[in-house]
């Protein structure tokens, strides 16, 4: 029975598409007919109800198929011309935005540069871009491009090697049109007009979006939702290809970075990658590649969420019984788990996905798919966005819905395994380890660091540990292909973060050996570089804590494990050897040659280096003198307890200005107008002062004690302002929050220049430590009694 005219018109207006143009899109500017696949189409069916009554109207969304000869199908150029009337340009048309003579590059002109551009009369209206043979009233129309919200414009850009003209490219669903002009101003005028017309268009909705809206409106009626799924195969799992994206993606927009196609083509490639998961032997790298594509192309994230919801849906919405037993079907759920722990879907897609997960749990309450659905729903509530995609180890753990074990190195306590998930932050891991080691009531502050050899960097409290592990994995993969890879890799460690408070440490707790081992690790890396007498005293104290009293019968330990490696002597600059005049060389019976000059320079270099090394050895006491001083100090410490030796060691370390100094690469900004370009500097934060030095230099350019710092505050997302007296210092770094936190921790300590009675610029740290058990070690200035005993 035919539909009434009013009902037919209402349905077409509600769906927002035309039956003549079978795709939500545009017309084509060229008359060439392409045999591309049509996209999603609606089939309007009117079933004849039994008993003569009028049945409901069925709207079914199907995938396109190649059926029938090409001649039976509507050609693209016929499809376009059916929408646009055949008439010449109207001189008084109020819808005309801009018109004029332009050159149009032939289709495929980039691959065929020998074809010259064709000159034609173009008219831009509010609905289309029309091309005519001339500007007269009866001119023949050569083509039209219907403009929609999905069209895109690029340019203008000049192509001097090909045409020498300024070009503006308009991209449609199937083709791109390149308009050329010899004048840049004219090309810019057309580009601006085209963008304004496209921006004024109402956003187009794909048929999939219309169906998602219908499902959302029928949320309380399970039978209606199941009916929508049964009548629209586009919402269900399919083994065939997808010819168009499910969401409206702009036409012709090139993806950033090499190796990526336009967004619509990448969306189709993603679906092919999903189908390849079913038979992949190693699905981890393929999943990681899909996730990396979504990280690089944020516009495809909602598209992939919808594709995964489609491939995990059955005939009535939830997966059918065969899917619960098929291991290949679980791959889609595993990838959906990784996606939910990495990205956040948009509003409408998120609502549809949550409804799909809820329907799966209700239909299959005791199945493994229901367990995946519950896991994904919890993850969607916690995900806030990732810096990097999950590592292979994290993907493997997420596929089994398990936590990931990471190892944190704790000095004095060994390697501590910590169970994390995709949302665990560095601050949470640090707090858990501090609780395990019994350091909750400690006056010292601790933080998580990433470390390799002498390189280390503090992690901000909100940094995701999973992102850090992914970065370690990527660096290890890059260094594996090097000819000379580093000996050790990156690792996580718990470290002192801020000033050291060695007073009142319990001899039976974990804090004393923890700080003791950490201080030794910093000393061996040359951070800090205390005076020689302090180095010898610390080496003797460490020998006493590890090997008890000195015994002449026991083998002597290697001292290089207790002292930092001496820096290589700086070579004296070579003085140029004067070249004798030819007459003097001939009288000496020799001829001047470059080889002779090279031998003399090498001899001079060896002599200078030997003198420099000898002077350094005399200044430092030499290797034998240092060993004798360390062993002598060890002998004089007979009878000292192990805890007492560690406490004395920490007291000496706390007196070093550079102990625990953190270094950051910053840019110093000038506070005066026209002060010049930013200067690259290295900011060092020590226990008593901060310094600025040039990269590669040890001598600081500026050094300021914390007592002179009046305020420390953020001036922008990456800018830190330090007020020192009446002047202000502006520093720029991506780690400004970490720098400010550490500076404020140092500013909270009373100093001689800022007495404790004056309020610091930030809140004081609570002092909950008991009084010190070693009064001689509490003095902040001068030498402790232990150091004086060792130097007698």
Please give the CATH architecture assigned to the domain spanning 662-748. Answer: Roll (2.30)
The token pair that represents 38 in the structure block? 């049509």
Q: Given a cut of 80, is residue 465 above it in pLDDT?
A: yes
Predicted pLDDT at 426: 92
Burial grade of 279 (CB within 10 A; 0-12, 13-18, 19 or more): exposed
The values of phi and psi at residue 712, to 5°, are: -140, 115
The token pair that represents 171 in the structure block? 């991209």
H, E, C per residue of 199-227: HCCCCCCCHHHHHHHHHHHCCCCHHHHHH
- What distance separates the 2 farthest-apart alpha carbons in the chain? 132
Domains 84-107+115-200 and 207-399 share a fold: no
Give the integer Cα–Cα distance in Å for 212 and 217.
9
Is-contact 226 138, C-beta < 8 A?
no
pLDDT in tens, 402-437: 999 999 988 877 889 999 999 999 999 999 999 988
The values of phi and psi at residue 748, to 5°, are: -70, -15
Predicted pLDDT at 40: 38
pTM for this prediction: 0.71
Give the integer Cα–Cα distance in Å for 277 and 212.
26
The token pair that represents 175 in the structure block? 């083709």
The token pair that represents 424 in the structure block? 């665990």
Is-contact 102 124, C-beta < 8 A?
no
Predicted pLDDT at 507: 84
Buried b (16+ CB within 10 A) or exposed e, 203-242: eebbbbbbbbeebeeeeeeeeebbbbbebbbbbbbeeeeb
**Which residues are within 8 A (CB) of 191 and not within 5 positions of it... i.e. 6 or more apart?**
153, 155, 156, 168
pLDDT in tens, 540-576: 888 888 888 878 777 878 777 777 766 555 454 555 5
**Which residues are within 8 A (CB) of 724 and not within 5 positions of it... i.e. 6 or more apart?**
704, 708, 709, 710
Give the integer Cα–Cα distance in Å for 102 and 187.
9
Burial grade of 679 (CB within 10 A; 0-12, 13-18, 19 or more): middle
Q: How many helices (H) and strands (E) does the chain have?
A: 23, 21
SS3 415: strand
Region 221-240: what's the mean pLDDT? 91
Is-contact 345 353, C-beta < 8 A?
yes
Grade residue 1 by pLDDT with cuts at 50, 70 and 90: very low
Q: Choose among 658, 655, 653, 657: nearest CA to 527.
A: 658
H, E, C per residue of 480-531: HCCCCCCCCCCEEEEEECCCCCCCCCCCCCCHHHHHHHHHHHHHHCCCCCCC
Q: How far is CA 392 from CA 172, 371, 471, 474, 597, in A?
A: 39, 22, 11, 10, 58
Output the CA angle 23-291-281, nearest 5 degrees. Answer: 105
Highest mean predicted confidence (pLDDT) among 281-290, 403-412, 436-445, 588-597 = 281-290
Give the integer Cα–Cα distance in Å for 562 and 520.
8
- Which CATH topology does 84-107+115-200 take? PH-domain like (2.30.29)
Q: Choose among 248, 230, 250, 229: nearest CA to 153.
A: 250
Predicted pLDDT at 625: 77
Of 85-89, 102-106, 341-345, 550-554, the range with the lowest mean pLDDT is 85-89
Question: Higher confidence at residue 779 or residue 298?
Answer: 298
| Residue where the block lists tokens 């029309």 | 130
- Size of the chain, expressed as the number of residues it contains: 792
Region 702-728: what's the mean pLDDT? 82
Predicted pLDDT at 92: 61
Give the integer Cα–Cα distance in Å for 471 and 474.
5
Please give the CATH architecture assigned to the domain spanning 207-399. Answer: Alpha Horseshoe (1.25)
Question: Higher confidence at residue 60 or residue 265?
Answer: 265
DSSP-assigned letter for residue 771: P
Domain residue ranges of the chain, discontinuous segments joined by +:
84-107+115-200, 207-399, 662-748
H, E, C per residue of 628-652: HHHHHHHHHCCCCCHHHHHHHHHHH
Predicted pLDDT at 770: 35
Burial grade of 52 (CB within 10 A; 0-12, 13-18, 19 or more): exposed
Categorise residue 294: left if φ over 0, alpha if ψ from -120 to 50, beta otherwise: alpha
SS3 751: strand
């Amino acid at each position: 029975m035919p539909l009434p005219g009013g009902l037919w018109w209402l349905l077409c207006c509600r769906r927002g598409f035309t039956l003549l143009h079978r795709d939500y899109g545009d017309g084509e500017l060229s008359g060439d007919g392409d045999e591309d696949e049509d996209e999603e189409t609606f089939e309007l069916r009117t079933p004849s109800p039994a008993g003569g009554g009028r049945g409901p109207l069925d709207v079914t969304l199907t995938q396109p198929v190649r059926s029938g000869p090409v001649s039976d199908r509507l050609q693209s150029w016929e499809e376009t011309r059916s929408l646009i009337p055949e008439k010449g340009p109207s001189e008084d048309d109020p819808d005309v935005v801009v018109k004029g003579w332009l050159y149009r590059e032939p289709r495929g002109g980039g691959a065929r540069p020998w074809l010259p551009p064709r000159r034609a009369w173009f008219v831009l209206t509010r609905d289309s871009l029309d091309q005519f043979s001339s500007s007269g009233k009866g001119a023949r129309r050569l083509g039209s491009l219907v403009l929609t919200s999905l069209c895109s414009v690029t340019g203008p850009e000049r192509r001097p090697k090909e045409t020498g003209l300024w070009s503006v490219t308009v991209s449609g669903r199937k083709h791109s049109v390149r308009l050329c002009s010899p004048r840049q101003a004219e090309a810019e005028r057309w580009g601006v007009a085209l963008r304004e017309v496209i921006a004024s268009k109402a956003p187009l909705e794909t048929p999939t979006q219309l169906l998602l809206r219908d499902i959302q409106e029928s949320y309380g009626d399970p039978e209606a939702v199941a009916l929508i799924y049964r009548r629209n195969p586009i919402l269900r799992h399919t083994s065939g290809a997808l010819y168009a994206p499910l969401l409206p993606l702009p036409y012709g927009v090139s993806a950033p970075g090499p190796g990526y196609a336009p967004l619509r083509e990448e969306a189709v490639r993603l679906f092919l990658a999903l189908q390849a998961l079913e038979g992949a032997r190693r699905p981890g790298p393929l999943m990681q590649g899909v996730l990396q594509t979504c990280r690089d192309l944020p516009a495809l994230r909602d598209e992939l969420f919808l594709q995964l919801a489609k491939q995990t849906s059955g005939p009535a919405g939830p997966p059918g019984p065969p899917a619960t037993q098929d291991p290949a079907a679980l791959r889609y759920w595993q990838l959906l788990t990784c996606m939910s722990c990495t990205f956040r879907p948009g509003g409408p897609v998120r609502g549809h996905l949550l409804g799909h997960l809820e329907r799966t749990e209700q239909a299959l309450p005791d199945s493994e798919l229901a367990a995946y659905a519950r896991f994904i729903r919890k993850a969607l509530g916690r995900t806030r966005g990732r810096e990097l995609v999950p590592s292979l180890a994290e993907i493997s753990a997420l596929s089994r819905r398990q936590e990931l074990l990471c190892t944190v190195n704790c000095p004095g306590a060994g390697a501590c395994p910590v169970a994390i998930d995709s949302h665990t932050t560095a601050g949470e891991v640090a707090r858990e380890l501090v609780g395990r080691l019994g350091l909750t009531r400690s006056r010292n502050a601790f933080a998580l660091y990433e470390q390799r050899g002498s390189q280390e960097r503090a992690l901000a409290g909100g940094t995701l540990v999973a992102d850090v592990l992914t970065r370690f994995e990527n660096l290890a993969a890059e260094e594996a292909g090097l000819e000379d890879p580093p000996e050790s890799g990156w690792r996580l460690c718990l470290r002192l973060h801020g000033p050291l408070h060695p007073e009142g440490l319990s001899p039976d707790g974990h804090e004393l050996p923890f700080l003791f081992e950490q201080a030794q690790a910093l000393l061996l890396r040359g951070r800090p570089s205390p005076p020689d007498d302090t180095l010898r005293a610390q080496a003797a104290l460490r020998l006493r804590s590890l090997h008890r009293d000195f015994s002449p019968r026991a083998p002597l330990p290697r001292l290089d494990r207790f002292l930092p490696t001496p820096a290589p002597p700086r070579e004296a600059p070579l003085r140029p050897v004067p070249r004798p005049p030819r007459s003097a060389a001939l009288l000496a019976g020799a001829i001047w040659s470059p080889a002779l000059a090279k031998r003399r320079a090498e001899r001079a270099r060896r002599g200078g280096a030997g003198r420099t090394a000898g002077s350094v050895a005399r200044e430092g006491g030499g290797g034998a003198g240092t060993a004798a001083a360390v062993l002598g100090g060890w002998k004089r410490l007979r009878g000292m307890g192990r805890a007492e030796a560690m406490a004395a060691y920490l007291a000496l370390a706390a007196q070093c200005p550079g102990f625990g100094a953190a270094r950051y690469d910053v840019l110093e900004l000038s506070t005066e107008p026209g002060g010049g370009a930013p200067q690259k500097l290295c900011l060092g934060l020590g226990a008593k002062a901060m310094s600025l030095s040039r990269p590669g230099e040890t001598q600081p350019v500026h050094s300021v004690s914390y007592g002179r710092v009046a305020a420390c505050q953020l001036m922008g997302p990456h800018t830190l302002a330090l007020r020192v007296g009446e002047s202000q210092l502006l520093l720029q770094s991506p780690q400004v929050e970490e720098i400010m936190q550490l500076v404020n921790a140092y500013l909270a300590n009373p100093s001689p220049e800022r007495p404790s009675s004056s309020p610091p610029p930030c809140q004081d740290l609570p002092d909950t430590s008991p009084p010190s058990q070693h009064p001689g070690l509490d003095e902040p200035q001068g030498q402790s009694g232990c150091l004086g005993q060792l130097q007698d």
